[in-house]
Amino acid sequence: MITMKHYLAFCLFSGIIFFSCQKKDTPSVSNSLDPKIESKVDSLVSLMTLEEKIQQLYGDPANGFWQSPNKRLEIPALKFADAGLGIRMEGPGTALPCGTAMAATWDTSLMQRVGVLLANETRAKGYSVCLAPLVNISRLPIAGRFFESLGEDPFLVSQMSVSQIKGIQSKDVVACIKTIACNNQEWKRMIIDARVSERALREIYLPSFESAVKEAGVMSIMSGYNKVNGLYCAENKHLLTDILKNEWGFTGFVVSDWGGTNSTIPTALAGLDIEMPGAKFFGDSLLGAVKEGKVSMGIIDDKVRRLLRTRYQIGLFSNPPVKDTAVLHSTESKQLALEVAQKAIVLLKNQDNMLPLNLKKIKSIAVIGPNAATAFIGGGGSSGVNPFYSIAPLDGIKSKVKNITINYALGCEHKEKLIYDADAKRSIFEEIIPAGILKSSLNGKIVNGLKAEYFNNNKLEGTPVIEKIDPVIDFIWQGSPNPEKLEKGNFSVRWSGTLAPEKTGNYRIKIGSSDGMRVFLKDTLLFSNWYDLGCYEPRSSEVIYLEAGKEYNIKVEYYNKKGGTAAHLTWVYQDAPNPYLADAIDAAKKSDVAILFIGFNKNYEHEGLERVGAMELPTEQNELVKAVVKANKNTIIVLTGGGPVNLGLWENEVPGILETFYLGQETGNAIADVLFGDINPSGKLPFSFIQNKSQSPVFANAMPADDIQYYTEGVYVGYRWLDKNNVSPLYPFGHGLSYTTFNYSDVKIDDLGKYNYRVSFKITNTGGFDGSEIAQLYIKDKECTVDRPEKELKGFVKTHLSKGETKTVSIDLNRRSFAFFSEANNKWTVEPGEFEIQIGSSSRVIKLLDTIHIKPE
């Protein structure tokens, strides 16, 4: 076992029914280059000037999502489309369920069809590169982009993403997977340094990227904003060249995350191929570095070749994308969005078979909650899609239920709100702290507002060049506040004065900024975003108690260095009485059953910030649940959100709980189908649904003061850590109930030679509904020279069974299924001995056991 001393020292240096397996020994797809394409690439490169080559390596200054075309040589631009959960560019598109929802289907064939849909809509909007899927491991349960991820297990993420990549690239569109590597949280995402062991990198954080290269032949990979072991990802030669290009044989191109490049020569030498969105480091700076001999022409040619090769591989020269709005309105897309949503829903709890609801026995239904009448289709940020339509849960229920009384009540409001500023093209928190409660002094005069000092540097140094009163902090400058005195990218502001609230109670103060911003209250730092953001990010304080009329010293500081120019200071009063609770209680009392829709929306879970409220539901929602359950014991909870949340205040008191994640445009229809039994739920959790922060080791160092995040848990992520420490989550990884029951039997293992095995077993539907079951195969190395997890997922199979039906299903295993990454030998290693084969319906419910004895290599 690696000691902490050694670990820290190292970090400083360094078929859907029948088969689902990892295939290490399969030849690398991306190494199979087409000689005809290579000849065309050679010819084109030979015609290019140095300046033309450099122009290929950065984004088009006129369009933030295009790579520059070459008109002389008729080289078309590569056009990149945000496509995490649908194509958000160029107007409306199909809004699919979020990443955790897709992963909950455990359905690789479905993911391939999702890939085809994304590719078709990418081309239909005139784009050629699909920025999807996101294949980072879900490490921090409250991470702002947790909802975009495919789960906590590298095998599940690998299998699901490989299928989506194949679907995308089958339609002559480049799949660009995101983001290598260890881009696991949003807090300080531009500078956080992930210190992770080589073994954890290889076993947890890189397998999804490796499988994408070797099994799917992915054509593009995005580098992360963050650092890994001291180096920015875009400057990390170990990741981009040693492993990705040399070891794995990746022949596609590496593109920076937008604004994720920090240098010229180190980045060029490390293996980044194209800087987006502009030419700050790969434009004139790179041209000069080549002319000075600091970057070789061979390195430049390799980058250009990769970009040209990809164009030829997708036929971009001869068959460019053509805009076609008919594709965006297709019936097939709508049906697929509904199917994914239906299959994603996880039945967490179903006490006394509360679900499905029998409409023949129900005369009235209470539909309650802040997530009932609005379709919250996804989290916030670059994955957001503008759908042609969206179905709210209330509307889905109304369309399903006839001749039954629906009693709707809001129950409570979401206090976390955003407004969208069309001019700035970004969302900002509303409830700007008003001038009427702010006071400051300028030239000996007390006025409302804050004293503003503007500096012509981004360090708040020297004498301010502008002093004035700003009534509020609510700015989107679109450049510089004063172009004559302040240069964009090189100015800073300090606001100071006093704040005197009109009401006593609890407040959450917020900031939103395009670069560093921090708040001091009562002469103490309250919270900050004091680092280079490169994009607009909101952040909020913990809840603080303030007294009415009392003056509190307040100071707010901001600097601009990169990206946009915006600053906002807002707040939310937390103690306003809930005016909607009485109506909710009344609706629950007069109904046979109550369905309560609670959880989050894009204002809580958003790119750029960790989940507002962390592991806790808003207080008003917990109070609403307790009140409704007291009024009607037949209460079903429907959760919206990307990841786990603390349900401990009431989980034991409700008979039924559905996890719906974010289900996209068909949210209401899919939920209604499951509630009333038209669809038997088959989703299973792609992450451990922990009870609270204490059940994850990540929280202890989630926001380090020195910006260094030590991955001290090593390979023990998610259920691996829970198993090792004998901790029981609320619901385990792989958990998901059905309206029917399944029996497992007759396990059989066939030795196919050379570490290849086929594990077969029978599944019987023993209940009263047709349904699908996801059987999971875990492996335990019973004795090893290194510490290994209690179990690791190495296969799964999803099969549909009619009532009473039995099927024999199989899962294939190979050498990689039994291997660990040896840091001593820098390679994947299989040690001889016994390996326990565990087959179950979740990571904690094992139905069948057997053993494979591995002989020495």
Q: Which residues pair with 474 in a beta bridge?
A: 568
Which stretches does DSSP call E strand in 633-672? 635-640, 656-659
**Helix, strand, or coil here: 775?**
strand
Q: What is the mean pLDDT of residues 393-414?
A: 96
Q: What is the mean pLDDT of residues 527-554?
A: 84
Residue 750 has pLDDT above 80, yes or no: yes
608 vs 307, 382, 498, 659, 662, CA distance in Å?
29, 10, 29, 24, 18
> Which residues touch 132 (CB under 8 Å, ≥6 apart)?
83, 84, 118, 164, 168, 175, 176, 177, 178
> Which residues touch 42 (CB under 8 Å, ≥6 apart)?
none
Residue 2: both structure tokens together: 């690696």
What are 259-282's pLDDT values in tens digits?
999 999 999 999 999 999 999 999
Residue 532 has pLDDT above 80, yes or no: no
Q: What is the mean pLDDT of residues 185-190?
A: 87
Q: What is the mean pLDDT of residues 222-240?
A: 98
**Helix, strand, or coil here: 475?**
strand
pLDDT at 6: 38
The share of the chain scoring above pLDDT 90, in percent, equals 83
- Residue in 617, 599, 841, 616 with CA at minimum distance from that of residue 731: 841
Q: What is the mean pLDDT of residues 448-456?
A: 97
Which has the higher per-residue pLDDT, 190 or 374?
374
> Which residues touch 271 (CB under 8 Å, ≥6 apart)?
237, 239, 240, 241, 244, 245, 254
| Residues taking part in catalysis | 257
| Host H or E run for residue 795 | strand 792-801
The share of the chain scoring above pLDDT 70, in percent, equals 94
Instruction: Please give the torsion angle defined by the CA atoms of residues 741, 747, 750 and 754, in that order, rounded to the nearest 10 degrees.
Output: 80
Q: What is the mean pLDDT of the chain?
A: 92
What are 298-331's pLDDT values in tens digits?
999 999 999 999 999 999 999 999 999 889 989 9
pLDDT at 62: 87
What are 453-472's pLDDT values in tens digits?
999 999 999 999 999 999 99
Residue 27 has pLDDT above 70, yes or no: no
Ordered DSSP codes for 522-572: TTEEEEE--S--SS-EEEEPPPEEE-TT--EEEEEEEEE-SS--EEEEEEE
pLDDT at 423: 40
Please state, in angstroms and rounded to a whole number, the distance separating the CA atoms of residues 106 and 127: 29
pLDDT at 800: 98
Rounded (5°) CA angle 784-790-793: 105
Phi, psi of 200 (to 5 degrees): -65, -40
Which has the higher per-residue pLDDT, 575 or 486?
486
pLDDT at 510: 87
Query: Checking DSSP bridges between strand 227-228 and strand 756-765, what pairing results, if any?
Result: unpaired
pLDDT at 61: 86
Q: Dihedral sign for Cα 340, 341, 347, 352, please.
A: negative
Q: What is the mean pLDDT of residues 114-139?
A: 97
What are 830-839's pLDDT values in tens digits?
999 999 999 9
Q: What is the mean pLDDT of residues 616-644?
A: 96
pLDDT at 747: 98
Q: What end-to-end distance do the CA atoms of the chain give, in Å?
A: 23
pLDDT band at 29 (very low <50, low <70, confident <90, very high): low
Task: For the beta carbon of residue 147, count every other beta carbon within 10 angstroms.
Answer: 31
Give Cα 809 distance to the centre of its chain: 32
Please state, in angstroms and rounded to a whole number, the distance separating the CA atoms of residues 62 and 490: 23
Phi, psi of 169 (to 5 degrees): -80, -10
| Host H or E run for residue 626 | helix 619-631
pLDDT band at 16 (very low <50, low <70, confident <90, very high): very low
pLDDT band at 530 (very low <50, low <70, confident <90, very high): confident
pLDDT at 118: 98
pLDDT band at 141 (very low <50, low <70, confident <90, very high): very high
My answer on whether omega of the bond before 277 falls inside 30° of 0, hence cis, is yes
Which has the higher per-residue pLDDT, 725 or 614?
725
> Which residues touch 845 (CB under 8 Å, ≥6 apart)?
732, 735
Q: What is the mean pLDDT of residues 760-789?
A: 97
Q: The pTM is what?
A: 0.90
pLDDT at 28: 46
> Which residues touch 483 (CB under 8 Å, ≥6 apart)?
none
Residue 19 has pLDDT above 70, yes or no: no
What are 84-95's pLDDT values in tens digits?
899 999 999 999
pLDDT at 115: 98
Please state, in angstroms and rounded to a whole number, the distance separating the CA atoms of residues 728 and 698: 17
pLDDT at 176: 98
Residue that has been written with the tokens 């890189």 in this structure: 206
**Helix, strand, or coil here: 829?**
strand
CA atoms within 13 A on the CB side of 28: 17
**Helix, strand, or coil here: 821?**
strand
Contacts of residues 423-428 at CB distance under 8 Å and 24 or more positions apart, as own/partner, are: 423/476, 423/478, 424/476, 424/478, 424/536, 424/564, 424/566, 426/476, 426/536, 426/564, 426/566, 427/380, 427/538, 428/476, 428/512, 428/536, 428/538, 428/566, 428/568, 428/570
Please say whether the beta carbons of 67 and 304 come within 8 A.
no
pLDDT at 187: 84
User: What structural domains and CATH numbers belong to the chain?
Assistant: 48-317 (3.20.20.300), 333-415+577-711 (3.40.50.1700), 418-573 (2.60.120.380), 742-854 (2.60.40.10)
